[in-house]
Amino acid sequence: MVAAEMDNYLRKRRPLSADQIVAYVRKLRKFKSNACALELMDWMESRGAKLIPGHQALRLGLVSKVHGIQAAEEYFWSLPDKSKKTYSSLLNCYGEHRMASKGLELYEKMKVMDMVPNTLLYNNLMTLYQKAGQPEKIPSTFEEMRESGISANNFTYSILIESYVTMNDLEAAEKVLEELQKVAPVHWSLYTMMANNYLKQELFGKAEVALKKAEEVMDKAELLSWHFLIYFKSFWSGNRVMDIMTLG
């Protein structure tokens, strides 16, 4: 168990800082070991650590994944000092559980409380719309974000492109991708997202171009990216798959 392992670690080695422990929590979450990550945060608190707003937001998300949205709500309302980060985390939880009405209700409360929106908040709001099956609301939210002078990041563009793909508007998705290419590096997953939808439309030439761009920008040490390329390129050339595996 995580708690027992940590106690044993501290008995044999030097103490760990809260930031070091939270770094391990994030790594566990990255590998979908949410129950272990939450147990590690519980262990931190049992040892007297006081969680800062960012840590509370992290814990809130883990509670939602492990114990469900009701438990996450109970944890949120139990916090004596709620921050924009914890509000935003709960908003994201509502999105993950496809609870659009509750998420939008919470967002309206945040506006009444004059919580100034930031990139993370807008990203969570757009994610909420996407997971709630309302992708048509994402473009207008994106425009509102830009008009407010708030910078978009790669994730913002990703969810915007995904919304157009969901609405089968590949032309709009292409325009957003072209815009992103001019201002920031594009993650390989955006190109594979486009390739996947080109394949569905039997636009094989465009799909291959998108995959070639994914190859150019992907981290060659990231195993997941190779899996995607092998999967997609197997649609039209078994020899090409062998070429990719050789490069890997």
CA angle 126-59-18, nearest 5°?
Answer: 125
For the chain, domain boundaries: 153-248
> DSSP per residue over 95-144, as a string?
HHTT-HHHHHHHHHHHHHTT----HHHHHHHHHHHHHTT-GGGHHHHHHH
Residue with tokens 């994106």: 142
What mean pLDDT comes out for the span 170-179? Answer: 93
Position 82 scores a pLDDT of 92
CA–CA gap between residue 112 and residue 230 (Å, rounded): 49
Which one of 34-48, 107-121, 209-223 scores highest in mean pLDDT? 34-48
What pLDDT, on a 0 to 100 scale, did the predictor assign at position 63? Answer: 97
* pLDDT at site 234: 62
Give the pLDDT mean for 158-178.
93
For residues 25 and 40, is the Cβ–Cβ distance under 8 A?
A: yes
Of 152 and 222, the structure prediction assigns the larger pLDDT to 152
CATH assignment, 153-248: 1.25.40
> Per-residue pLDDT averaged across 219-248, rounded?
52
> In this structure, are residues 37 and 25 in contact, taking their beta carbons and an 8 Å threshold?
yes
Q: Is the pLDDT of residue 182 over 90?
A: no
pLDDT > 90: what percent of the chain?
Answer: 40
- Give the integer Cα–Cα distance in Å for 139 and 135: 8
pLDDT tens, position by position, 54-73: 999 999 999 999 999 999 99
How far apart (Å, rounded) are the C-alpha atoms in residues 61 and 68?
Answer: 10
pLDDT of 15 strictly over 90 = no
How far, CA to CA in Å, does 104 sit from each of 107, 118, 124, 129, 143? 5, 16, 11, 9, 18
Band the pLDDT of 186: cuts 50, 70, 90.
Answer: confident
pLDDT the model gives residue 225: 53
Task: In whole angstroms, give the CA distance from residue 140 to residue 109.
Answer: 20
Q: Give the model's pLDDT for residue 236.
A: 52
Query: How many Å is the Cα radius of gyration of the chain?
Result: 21
Query: Residue 34 contacts by C-beta under 8 Å, 6 or more apart in sequence?
Result: 28, 62, 65, 66
- Asked if 40 contacts 28 with a C-beta cutoff of 8 angstroms, the reply is yes
Does the pTM surpass 0.95? The reply is no
Position 122 pLDDT exceeds 80:
yes
Q: pLDDT at residue 136 above 60?
A: yes
Measured distance CA(68)–CA(97) in Å, rounded = 9
CB-count burial class (<10 Å; 0-12, 13-18, 19+) for 206: middle
Residue 243 predicted with pLDDT over 50: no
174 pLDDT exceeds 90?
A: yes
